[in-house]
A and B are shown apart, each in its own frame.
Chain A
Amino acid sequence: MSKTASITGGSAFRFGLLLLAMPLLLWLFLLVILPHMDLFLVSMRERISYGKYEFSLINYIEFFAEPLYWNTYVRTAVMSIFATILTLVIGFPVSYYIAKVMRGKGKNALFLMCLIPFWVSELVRTFGWMILLRESGVISNFLQWAGIADGPVEMLYNDAAIMVGLVYTSMLFMVVPLVSVLDSLDDSLIEAGYDLGGNAFTVTRDIVIPHAMPGIASGCIVVFMLTLGNYLTPNLLGGKDSLWFTEQIYTQFITRFNWESGSAFGFLLLILSSAIVWIGLKLSKQTLSETVG
Chain B
Amino acid sequence: MADQFDLECRNVVKTFDDFTAVNDISLAIPKGSFFSILGPSGCGKTTLLRMLAGFQAPTSGDILIKGASVLGVPPNRRPVNMVFQHLALFPMMNVAENVAYGLKRRGVDKATITQKVNETLARVGLPDAGPKQISQLSGGQKQRIAIARCLVLDPAVLLLDEPLGALDLKLREHMKVELKQLQHEIGTTFVYITHDQSEALVMSDQVAVMNAGRFEQVGAPQDLYYNPKTAFVAGFVGESNRWHGTVEGGDDHKIEINLASGGKVIAKRDGQTNLVTGQGVDVFVRPEAIAIDGTEGADNSLSAKVDNVLFNGAASSLQVRELVTGHEMTVALPQTGAFASVKAGDEIRLSWSVEQTRCFASTEGGAGA
Which of B91, B93, B106 interacts with A197 by CB under 8 Å? B106
Once bound together, how far apart are the Cα atoms of A228 and B77, in whole Å? 47
**Interface membership of chain B positions 65-77, coded 1 if the CB is closer than 8 angstroms to chain A and 0 otherwise:** 0000000001111
Cβ–Cβ < 8 Å partners of A196 in chain B: 76, 81, 101-102, 105, 149-150, 153
Cβ–Cβ < 8 Å partners of B153 in chain A: 196-197
B88–A194 CB distance below 8 A: no
A172-229 contacts to B, CB under 8 A, are 186, 188-189, 191-199, 202, 206-207, 210-211
Cβ–Cβ < 8 Å partners of A186 in chain B: 86, 88
Once bound together, how far apart are the Cα atoms of A210 and B102, in whole Å? 18
* CB of B193 within 8 Å of the partner chain: no
Once bound together, how far apart are the Cα atoms of A13 and B341, in whole Å? 59
Which of B88, B92, B149, B150 interacts with A188 by CB under 8 Å? B88
Cβ–Cβ < 8 Å partners of A198 in chain B: 76, 101, 105
Once bound together, how far apart are the Cα atoms of A104 and B50, in whole Å? 21
Once bound together, how far apart are the Cα atoms of A188 and B55, in whole Å? 11
* CB of B84 within 8 Å of the partner chain: yes
Cβ–Cβ < 8 Å partners of B93 in chain A: 206
B86–A188 CB distance below 8 A: yes
In the complex formed, the residue of A with least CB distance to B107 is: A197
Cβ–Cβ < 8 Å partners of A202 in chain B: 105
Chain B nearest Cβ from A37, distance in angstroms: 42
A192–B88 CB distance below 8 A: yes
In the complex formed, the residue of A with least CB distance to B77 is: A197
**Interface membership of chain B positions 248-292, coded 1 if the CB is closer than 8 angstroms to chain A and 0 otherwise:** 000000000000000000000000000000000000000000000
Task: Given the known inter-chain contacts A186-B86, A188-B86, please indicate yes or no for A195 contacting B81, CB distance below 8 A.
Answer: yes
Cβ–Cβ < 8 Å partners of A191 in chain B: 55, 75, 82, 84, 88
B76–A199 CB distance below 8 A: yes
Once bound together, how far apart are the Cα atoms of A151 and B74, in whole Å? 53
A206–B85 CB distance below 8 A: no
Once bound together, how far apart are the Cα atoms of A199 and B74, in whole Å? 10
Cβ–Cβ < 8 Å partners of B339 in chain A: none
Chain B nearest Cβ from A208, distance in angstroms: 10
Once bound together, how far apart are the Cα atoms of A191 and B93, in whole Å? 16
B75-130 contacts to A, CB under 8 A, are 75-77, 81-82, 84-86, 88-93, 101-102, 105-106
Cβ–Cβ < 8 Å partners of B81 in chain A: 195-196
* CB of B157 within 8 Å of the partner chain: no
A195–B76 CB distance below 8 A: yes
Task: Given the known inter-chain contacts A197-B102, A197-B106, A202-B105, please indicate yes or no for A192 contacting B90, CB distance below 8 A.
Answer: yes
B76–A194 CB distance below 8 A: yes
B101–A206 CB distance below 8 A: yes
Cβ–Cβ < 8 Å partners of A206 in chain B: 90, 92-93, 101
* CB of B224 within 8 Å of the partner chain: no
Chain A nearest Cβ from B190, distance in angstroms: 16
Instruction: Please report whether the interface of chain A is mostly helix, strand, loop or mixed according to DSSP.
Output: helix
Once bound together, how far apart are the Cα atoms of A230 and B310, in whole Å? 74
* CB of B320 within 8 Å of the partner chain: no
In the complex formed, the residue of B with least CB distance to A189 is: B88
In the complex formed, the residue of A with least CB distance to B78 is: A195
Cβ–Cβ < 8 Å partners of B86 in chain A: 186, 188
**Interface membership of chain A positions 231-269, coded 1 if the CB is closer than 8 angstroms to chain B and 0 otherwise:** 000000000000000000000000000000000000000
* CB of B21 within 8 Å of the partner chain: no
* CB of B53 within 8 Å of the partner chain: yes
Once bound together, how far apart are the Cα atoms of A210 and B74, in whole Å? 24
B101–A211 CB distance below 8 A: no
Chain B nearest Cβ from A194, distance in angstroms: 5
Once bound together, how far apart are the Cα atoms of A202 and B104, in whole Å? 10
Once bound together, how far apart are the Cα atoms of A189 and B98, in whole Å? 11
Cβ–Cβ < 8 Å partners of A195 in chain B: 53, 75-76, 81-82
Cβ–Cβ < 8 Å partners of B101 in chain A: 193, 196, 198, 206
B82–A192 CB distance below 8 A: yes
Once bound together, how far apart are the Cα atoms of A188 and B153, in whole Å? 19
Q: A186, A192, A199: which has the most chain B beta carbons within 10 Å?
A: A192
Chain B nearest Cβ from A264, distance in angstroms: 44
Chain A nearest Cβ from B226, distance in angstroms: 37
Cβ–Cβ < 8 Å partners of A210 in chain B: 92
Cβ–Cβ < 8 Å partners of B106 in chain A: 197
B92–A207 CB distance below 8 A: yes
Once bound together, how far apart are the Cα atoms of A193 and B106, in whole Å? 12
A194–B84 CB distance below 8 A: no
Once bound together, how far apart are the Cα atoms of A211 and B90, in whole Å? 9
In the complex formed, the residue of B with least CB distance to A186 is: B88
Which of B55, B75, B90, B102 interacts with A189 by CB under 8 Å? B90
Cβ–Cβ < 8 Å partners of B88 in chain A: 186, 188-189, 191-192
Cβ–Cβ < 8 Å partners of B149 in chain A: 196
B135-158 contacts to A, CB under 8 A, are 149-150, 153
Chain B nearest Cβ from A199, distance in angstroms: 6
Once bound together, how far apart are the Cα atoms of A194 and B153, in whole Å? 13
**Interface membership of chain B positions 148-189, coded 1 if the CB is closer than 8 angstroms to chain A and 0 otherwise:** 011001000000000000000000000000000000000000
In the complex formed, the residue of A with least CB distance to B82 is: A195
Chain B nearest Cβ from A104, distance in angstroms: 13
Pairs of residues from A and B, 5 with the lowest C-beta to C-beta distance, nearest first = A197-B105, A196-B102, A210-B92, A192-B88, A188-B88
User: What are 27 pairs between A and B in contact, CB < 8 Å?
Assistant: A186-B88, A189-B88, A189-B90, A191-B55, A191-B84, A192-B82, A192-B84, A192-B90, A193-B90, A194-B76, A195-B75, A195-B81, A195-B82, A196-B76, A196-B102, A196-B149, A197-B102, A197-B105, A198-B76, A198-B101, A198-B105, A199-B105, A206-B92, A207-B90, A210-B92, A211-B91, A211-B92
A: residues with CB less than 8 A from B are 186, 188-189, 191-199, 202, 206-207, 210-211
13 further A-B contacts with Cβ under 8 Å, apart from A192-B90, A197-B76, are A186-B86, A188-B86, A188-B88, A191-B75, A192-B82, A194-B76, A196-B76, A196-B105, A196-B150, A197-B102, A199-B76, A206-B90, A207-B90
